[in-house]
């Protein structure tokens, strides 16, 4: 039996219009991501990687085309429903970590679970599990400013996985890190993938893109190539 499809994009098009100038950020994107898959989206700066990731993460809507998440179309959903799906189905990992400065590590990881309305006990279990998973449980009471960049990104990963989402969307997760910390975060993502997480990672760094099962190459808003990892 083939793995279940988590994401299916059909003929996605995104056009930005400013002062009567149309910019085609994405054109005719077809993409399917299966459960447990680790896919990377690669391409040069300005090719539409981040726009695609925003659409995948329900932070943006396509101008045209169909988007099905876990078998359900997401076009036309209300803001509130989109927020709910982001909270339940999607885990974000940002390039600049985006931890909230005046919340502790524990509180940052707990935040999506609070929005989900989980009871305190369950939140505590899940937060500690997520922090254990990324090796940051000993820093639970620290503030983000007290951590290194690599440690902050590990906390961001813990926040993303704590909600047990259907898919992790990582936007240049190593972009703000030195090579050592970048490698460590990449190892962490690979480890998560090994344990069953579905990951979609945007990167312009071919060195990191090759860690994925499959790499989708974008250029000028179009998929120009798909490559599978060498066995």
**Positions in the binding site for other proteins (CB under 8 A):** 54, 57, 59-60, 79-80, 83-84, 86-88, 92, 94, 96, 98, 100-101, 111-112, 115-116, 159, 163
Q: Taking CA 51 as the corner, what is the angle to CA 50 and CA 55, rounded to the nearest 5 degrees?
A: 115
Minimal distance, residue 151 CB to other proteins, in Å: 18
For 63, the 3-state DSSP assignment is coil
Q: How far is the C-alpha of 85 from the C-alpha of 7, rounded, in Å?
A: 13
In 3D space, the residue among 12, 74, 83, 18 whose CA is nearest the CA of residue 48 turns out to be: 12
Q: Which is nearer to other proteins, 83 or 224 (CB)?
A: 83
Minimal distance, residue 25 CB to other proteins, in Å: 12
Minimal distance, residue 92 CB to other proteins, in Å: 5
- Rounded to 10°, the helix 179-194/149-162 angle is 20
Q: How far is the C-alpha of 218 from the C-alpha of 12, rounded, in Å?
A: 13
Q: Which is nearer to other proteins, 118 or 192 (CB)?
A: 118
Q: Quote the DSSP letter at residue 4.
A: P
In 3D space, the residue among 202, 204, 186, 182 whose CA is nearest the CA of residue 194 turns out to be: 186
Q: Which is nearer to other proteins, 98 or 210 (CB)?
A: 98
Q: Which is nearer to other proteins, 26 or 111 (CB)?
A: 111
Asked whether the beta carbons of 200 and 168 are under 8 A apart, the reply is yes
Minimal distance, residue 58 CB to other proteins, in Å: 9
Q: Which is nearer to other proteins, 86 or 139 (CB)?
A: 86
Minimal distance, residue 23 CB to other proteins, in Å: 15
Q: Which is nearer to other proteins, 13 or 116 (CB)?
A: 116
State the distance between the two ends of the chain, measured CA to CA, in whole angstroms: 21
Minimal distance, residue 165 CB to other proteins, in Å: 10
Q: What are the helix and strand counts (H, E) for the chain?
A: 7, 10
Q: Which is nearer to other proteins, 136 or 215 (CB)?
A: 136
Minimal distance, residue 160 CB to other proteins, in Å: 9
Given 3-state DSSP classes, what are the helix, strand and coil percentages for the chain, each rounded to the nearest 5? 35, 30, 35
């Amino acid at each position: 039996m083939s793995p279940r499809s988590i994401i299916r994009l059909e003929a996605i098009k995104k056009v930005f219009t400013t002062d009567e100038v149309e910019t085609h950020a994405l054109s005719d994107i077809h993409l399917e991501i299966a459960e447990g898959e680790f896919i990377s989206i690669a391409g040069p700066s300005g090719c539409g990687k981040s726009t695609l990731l925003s659409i995948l993460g329900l932070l943006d809507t396509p101008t045209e085309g169909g988007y099905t998440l876990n078998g359900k179309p997401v076009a036309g959903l209300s803001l509130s429903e989109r927020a709910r799906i982001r909270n339940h189905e999607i885990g974000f990992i940002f390039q600049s970590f985006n931890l909230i400065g005046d919340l502790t590590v524990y509180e940052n990881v707990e935040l999506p679970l609070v929005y989900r309305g989980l009871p305190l006990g369950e939140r505590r279990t899940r937060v500690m599990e997520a922090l254990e998973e990324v090796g940051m449980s000993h820093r639970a009471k620290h503030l983000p400013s007290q951590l290194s960049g690599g440690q902050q990104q590990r906390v961001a990963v813990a926040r993303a996985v704590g909600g047990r989402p259907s898919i992790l969307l990582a936007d240049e997760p190593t972009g703000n890190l030195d090579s050592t910390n970048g490698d460590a975060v990449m190892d962490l993502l690979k480890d998560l993938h090994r344990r069953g997480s579905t990951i979609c990672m945007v990167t312009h760094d071919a060195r990191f893109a090759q860690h994925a099962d499959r790499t989708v190459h974008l250029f000028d808003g179009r998929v120009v190539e798909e490559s599978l990892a060498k066995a």
